[in-house]
Amino acid sequence: MSLSRRDFARKSAITGAGVALAGSVGALATAPNALASTDVENADEKSADGHGVGYGPLIPDPNGILALPAGFTYRIITYSGKTKLESGEFTPSNHDGTATFAGPRGATLLVNNHELKGPRASWPYPVPLTEGLVYDPAASGGCTVVEVRPGGHVAEWVGIAGTSTNCAGGSTPWGTWLTCEETEDKAGANGMTKDHGYVFEVDPVDRRANRAPEPIKALGRYAHEAVVIDPKRGHAYLTEDASGPNGLLYRWTPPEGFCHGRGKLRGLADDAGLLQAFKCFDSGGKFVDDLSRATKTGTVYGVDWVDVPDRDARTTPVRKQFTTGQVTRARKLEGMWWGDGGTYIVSSYAREESPVQHDGQVWFYDPKRRTLTLKVLLGVNPDPSVDGAFDGPDNITVSPYGGLVIAEDGEGVQHLFGATDSGRTYPIARNELNIGTEEEPEYSEFTGVTFSPDGRTLYANIQTPGIMLAITGPWKRQRR
């Protein structure tokens, strides 16, 4: 049953300010331009142990990799061109979306995307074409599986190869990883021999399950970013990182009688279930054309879902199949993470291609209420080269210590930062690996932020050149 604009407007009128209030209580409410400085010693808000929010200022790293607060340390797990796979090839480059899984005998397993687009010859360290695990031998991307055993031993092997531009993705309730291709290349474009722009399933535990990979075409073909699965209702929610026009948020409803499980998605017919794009409206029933219209945290939109005409985009990209007024759009729809009974959704930034400019939004979709609430809003960062402000959120995870941990993919200085449920932001790490020059420094984005299953280790990647890091320290509960 869809939530009509009339129903949403009627409920808003009955409850008055209560609808907006329901979306803002406990929200990660950071006002525009309020991120010009980090909140690490705020006197009127304390964490569970009575100290300030966050972990204090970041201390420069003498090794020039990662600045962390006092008491925290990092370890390099994989490093493109330096560490090697079990098969002897170097770790592929361009680390991106990542998730952790409990492995055998206390090990932690991580599936790591490698965002490599186009022909293999374009990259010094593409994902190796491991026999039986290749979709398109012309493509350079894919996933590796990393095993971190108690005592520190690390092993890495290919999970899938021959895919393209593996950006984000998402873990499933049944313990697998869905890797997403952020491309719309068809066979014959950029040297590809097969169509791309799909979602593939990778099993971190059962290597045999990854053989002869096939795309999950039921989830559509477009510039995929991230995906989450509603563990209760079975829906898949998917973001699209695209412009001209801006991308969409999608919902896939499984066919009647379908039961999720390992490898089940792979067996679906290409047109199985229902793929739809979102359409938002405000409390007055007015259609919202773009999420950048929201300029206050706590803003709540009702959500309807509109059927996708051609999910495989044979002649027209999916986002271009809708006319003005049919769907809501947003620039740079990026990371997602399931938590608190719904999904957190990132819009990384908005510029001239959007009605209103900003440097990042985090939304929360509540599937029970069918509402979308703005939780975090980052005003345009006036000087990204100066440390202190945050901009360009990308990958995201829900922290076991409260609030969110967000990977920054903005301009200038790059951080991992936290956002508490009550609206404070604080730094966790800063990338100090300069891949530019001394005169014109450049710092790669953070990606793949995710906690270990026991919550003791925060894993994150520096995308270029491709470094996976394990961060440990005195984690503490942040105030709710």
Peptide bond into 245 cis (omega under 30): yes
Q: What is the pLDDT of residues 328-375, one digit of tens each?
A: 999 999 999 999 999 999 999 999 999 999 999 999 999 999 999 999
- Helices and strands (H and E) in the chain: how many: 2, 27
pLDDT of residue 381: 86
Q: What is the DSSP string of 118-178?
A: SBGGG-SSPPP--TT-BS-TTB-EEEEEEEE-TTS-EEEEEEEEEE--EEEEEE-TTS-EE
pLDDT of residue 22: 27
Residue 360 CA to residue 331 CA, distance in Å, equals 10
Does residue 172 contact residue 99 with C-beta atoms inside 8 Å? no
- C-alpha distances in angstroms, 56 versus 52, 332, 352, 373, 426? 8, 31, 36, 30, 8
The bridge status of strand 236-240 relative to strand 249-253 is: antiparallel
301 strand-pairing partners = 372
- Measured torsion, CA atoms of residues 242, 248, 254, 260, in degrees rounded to the nearest 10: 60
Closest by CA to 285, choosing from 3, 9, 20, is 9
Within 10 angstroms of residue 432's Cβ, the number of other Cβ atoms is 19
pLDDT of residue 57: 95
Tokens representing 407 are 């990977």
Tokens representing 344 are 């957190």
Residue 227 CA to residue 166 CA, distance in Å, equals 12
Q: What is the pLDDT of residues 151-167, one digit of tens each?
A: 999 999 999 999 999 99
Q: Which CATH number fits domain 5-472: 3.40.50.300, 2.120.10.30, 3.50.50.60, 3.40.190.80?
A: 2.120.10.30
pLDDT beneath 70, residues of the chain: 1-51, 422-423, 479-480
Q: Give the SS3 label for residue 51.
A: coil
Closest by CA to 170, choosing from 230, 214, 221, is 230
pLDDT of residue 478: 80
Q: Spell out the domain ranges in the chain.
A: 5-472
pLDDT of residue 422: 66
pLDDT of residue 6: 47
Residue 40 CA to residue 360 CA, distance in Å, equals 21
pLDDT of residue 215: 98
- Using a cut of 0.85, tell me whether the model's pTM lies above it: yes
467 CA to centre of own chain? 18
